[in-house]
Amino acid sequence: MSDTSSQTSGRGAGAGFMAELNRDKEHRDKSGSLKPLSRLWPFVARYPGKIAIFLFFLVVAAFLSLALPSAARLLVDCGFGDNTAALSYCKNFALGDPAAISSYFRLAVILAILVGLTSALRFYYVSVLGQRVITDLRRAVYDHLLSLSPTFYERIRTGEVLSRLTTDTTLIETVIGSSVSFALRSIATTLGALILMLLVSWKLTLMVIAIGPVVVLPAIFLGRRIQRLSRDSQDRLADASARAGESLGAIQTVQAFTRENDERAAFGDTAESTFTANRARLLARSFMTAVIFSGGLVAMIFIFWYGATEVTKGNISAGEILQFSMLAFFAVSGAGFLTETWAEFLRAAGATERLMELLDETPDIAAPPEARTLGKTHGEVRFDNISFAYPSRASDSVLDSVSFTVAPGETVALVGPSGAGKSTIFQLLLRFYDPTSGIISIDTIPYRELSPDSIRQQFAIVQQATPLFSGSAMENIRYGRIEATDDEVIAAAKAAYADQFIRRLPDGYNTDLGERATTLSGGQRQRIAIARAILRNAPVLLLDEATSALDAESEQAVQRAFTEISRDRTTLVIAHRLATVLSADRIIVMNEGCIVEEGTHTELVAQNGLYARLARLQFDQARETEAALSG
């Protein structure tokens, strides 16, 4: 059992995940400005060419869109009725004979096609820009996450990090890829429409401006409510996702305890709450749509009525009324769209803030400004008066004044009760943490003078949990040394006694093992992990209960392999089964964070201390079991 048990599993991890989500919800509720979006500018500014092309098509599309009402005016004033009485300006825009109706329809068709093309190009370039920015942002966040120390992952759950990496970036992608484009287009068309409206009829323009707040203000109010409901629906969705993640991540436990129906009911409740929250959001959004459209249409009808009276008086032409009405529709709908997208911008601002919190995190373990570089070391490891407590529980000391030296090529076993600090020593050796006090060194060079990467390159580890990845057996073994040849991978598998069962897989070494290699038995996974460590060929080998999942026959075979590869490197072994460390050059016995005994198996048994007591318990139990089986 690892000493870093603070990262709980099952329902405990789920409860922590939900607590993190609730804290995140409170943080989002306090967000009320677009200022966090400015942090995206460095990612956007990398592509000035794409920005320039997008802005060009944005301006052209907005200009051509605003020309559509003028084209409609031409169609009415110049294309209908008695062409001999056509207005004098008509002939300036006719594509062909000014007296022919088709001349003005040709112009309208060409204009409509240009509007469609430029709008499509505007959408394409801003969407590509958005995808490019989001890809860069995701890579930057993920790259940074890989550099953070384990201390960070004690404070925040992996599920929450992945939620920020996926859900939050999707929110930002929506804004950059579409909402920004539509918002800028709405601003351009609204301002342009207002200017053109003034040129057509300043009286009608003032009427529209007076009617505008009747449409816009309810939209703003409803937009804020939609924002709150959107946050609530997001949280309900997170509840459902967290519940599903817990159950599916421990599906064998769920099925073994026949809790499928309970899990179905629990997930059903969270899914229904998600539906209820989304229904409320959709109702508010639908009502806002009704207000905007109804208000806009009523305003348009009122303008037509007033315009009709002006036409009968001869103060304005029918074409001008149509032109003004279309411009007014552009202005009102554009303003309405801006109020509707405000909530999206605020959500994206909150998402940006959460992502930037990740990027603002600094690793607790970082390379010093002038870090020394390491070649391949001899593998001497020294602990000098080391004390340590995990940052998440700083008052609970895990190691207390621990000192020992492992000579190059020496095999040292760490034994003792659970919680004695054995796995913590491995955590410190790999520099996942720095000690509270004392000095750790490799080949007499203090760790604090070296970068974490250069230290970790000196180690190969076989962990008790046997973490493997989706992919083939070949890829999982090659994870230990990515440049290794196929022959070297196979040689490592043979040394770990994994070659035989790998070749029996459907596609041999190229068989996809599935997520976390769950298609293999525990012993098979452990032998692949052992092969991975053998392939790494590092000066120091760390074995954390490396044979715990093996049967007796496989354990003996792997022990012979370890004996062979340990001859040329320093080896530290954590073992609860003392039979696996009898041949160690030295055994260090730990209890409650301190070294209490040290020596060979024979010497420690003779001391009749903690080791001797543990040995008697295990070996007597083994003899009783053997006798019972033989009887």
Question: In the predicted model, is pLDDT for residue 125 greater than 80?
Answer: yes
**Predicted confidence (pLDDT) per residue in 248-271, tens digit:** 767 777 777 777 888 788 777 777
**Predicted confidence (pLDDT) per residue in 453-493, tens digit:** 888 889 988 887 777 888 888 998 998 888 989 999 999 89
pLDDT at position 88: 64
pLDDT at position 15: 41
* Cα Rg of the chain (Å, integer): 36
**Residue 572 · residue 414 · CB < 8 Å:** yes
Residues in CB range of 320: below 8 A, 6 or more apart: 73, 77, 200, 201
- What is the helix (H) or strand (E) element at residue 273, kind and residue range? helix 260-312
Q: State what percent of residues in the chain have pLDDT above 90.
A: 10
Tokens of 44: 């956007």
Question: In the predicted model, is pLDDT for residue 94 greater than 60?
Answer: yes
pLDDT at position 29: 42
Beta bridge partners of 19: none
Instruction: Round to whole Å and give the CA distance between 472 and 460.
Output: 20
Return the minimum-mean-pLDDT range out of 87-96, 343-352, 391-400.
87-96
pLDDT at position 27: 43
Return the minimum-mean-pLDDT range out of 498-507, 585-594, 603-612, 616-625.
616-625
pLDDT at position 30: 38
Beta strands at 437-442 and 445-446: parallel, antiparallel or unpaired: antiparallel
In the sheet that holds 411-415, the strands lie side by side as 459-462, 540-544, 570-574, 411-415, 586-591, 594-599
Question: In the predicted model, is pLDDT for residue 567 greater than 80?
Answer: no
Instruction: Round to whole Å and give the CA distance between 325 and 300.
Output: 6
Average confidence score pLDDT of the chain:
78
DSSP secondary structure of 137-194:
HHHHHHHHHHHS-HHHHHHS-HHHHHHIIIIIHHHHHHIIIIIHHHHHHHHHHHHHHH
Beta bridge partners of 543: 462, 573
Question: In the predicted model, is pLDDT for residue 6 greater than 80?
Answer: no
Which single residue is written with the structure tokens 């598998």?
A: 493
* Structure confidence at residue 14 as a pLDDT band (50, 70, 90): very low
> Which of the pair, 173 or 226, is modelled with greater confidence?
173
> Which of the pair, 386 or 275, is modelled with greater confidence?
386
> Which of the pair, 494 or 374, is modelled with greater confidence?
494
Question: In the predicted model, is pLDDT for residue 507 greater than 50?
Answer: yes
Question: In the predicted model, is pLDDT for residue 26 greater than 50?
Answer: no
In the sheet that holds 381-389, the strands lie side by side as 397-406, 381-389, 437-442, 445-446
pLDDT at position 383: 94
Which single residue is written with the structure tokens 């790999």?
A: 430
Beta bridge partners of 64: none
**Predicted confidence (pLDDT) per residue in 350-383, tens digit:** 788 878 888 888 877 777 777 777 878 888 999 9
Mean pLDDT of 209-232: 69
> Which of the pair, 385 or 29, is modelled with greater confidence?
385
Residue 543 identity: L
Residue 457 φ/ψ, nearest 5 degrees: -65, -15
- Which domains can be identified in the chain, with CATH numbers? 10-360 (1.20.1560.10), 372-457+539-631 (3.40.50.300), 459-537 (3.40.50.300)
**Residue 412 · residue 572 · CB < 8 Å:** yes
